[in-house]
Amino acid sequence: MPIIPIPCQEIVLRAILRRGWVDENARITAHAFIRWPKDNDGLSVNLRSKTDVESWLSSFKKSYGAASLHCGRIRDLGLGLDVVQMEADEQPEHAVITGLPYQDDDPYGAERLASELVKIARVFDTTKRTKNQYQ
């Protein structure tokens, strides 16, 4: 599948979809960067520059905010991670972090890379939202 690299200066947002993905002091935990089976192409993120954050985070059943990551810093980790868009993706704001293994396939790799992403992640938003809460 053709992919489009995301420029290094871009900021991507990772939605915090579960309570344990942040700690009680609003710090991002490694749980937030574990790849799920539905993450076929990679860890799902949104481009900050193209995202209406309020609308995006309110579209999930529950969300607890978002973490931000600088694409250049992800690449600078030198651990085989990249940030790309799939050409076939119909959502122009959507991208994926590639290079993360599944925890069942490679626990060491999955946990280590999650730790590295935690180190460069910043808390972007910590508002708890539920889907259609404003309707």
Partner 1 sequence: MSTATMGPAVSGIPRGKGPRTGGSGPLLAEKTVLAAHTELEPPFPGVDVLSSQGSLADSLQGTWEQPCRSAAASEPLTSRDYAATVQLITELGREDEEEDRPSEFALGRTLSVLEQAARELRLSFPLAIVAVGPHRSLRLLWSSEGREVRLVVGGSTANKTYLYWEGPGQRCVDYSVDGARLASLLRWTLHGI
The residues of the shown chain that bind partner 1, judged by CB under 8 A, are: 18-21, 23-25, 27, 29-31, 34-37, 61, 102-104, 107-108, 111-112, 115
For residue 58, the 8-state DSSP code is H
Instruction: Identify the residue whose tokens are 């999955």.
Output: 110
CB 33, min distance to partner 1, A: 11
CB 34, min distance to partner 1, A: 6
Cβ pair 93, 35 in contact under 8 A = no
CB 63, min distance to partner 1, A: 13
CB 68, min distance to partner 1, A: 20
What is the distance between the alpha carbons of residues 41 and 35, in angstroms, rounded to a whole number? Answer: 10
Give 19 or 50: the residue with its C-beta nearer to partner 1: 19
Cβ pair 109, 36 in contact under 8 A = no
Give 25 or 55: the residue with its C-beta nearer to partner 1: 25
Name the nearest CA neighbour of 93 among 21, 6, 25, 30.
Answer: 6
Give 38 or 88: the residue with its C-beta nearer to partner 1: 38
Give 73 or 102: the residue with its C-beta nearer to partner 1: 102
Cβ pair 55, 17 in contact under 8 A = no
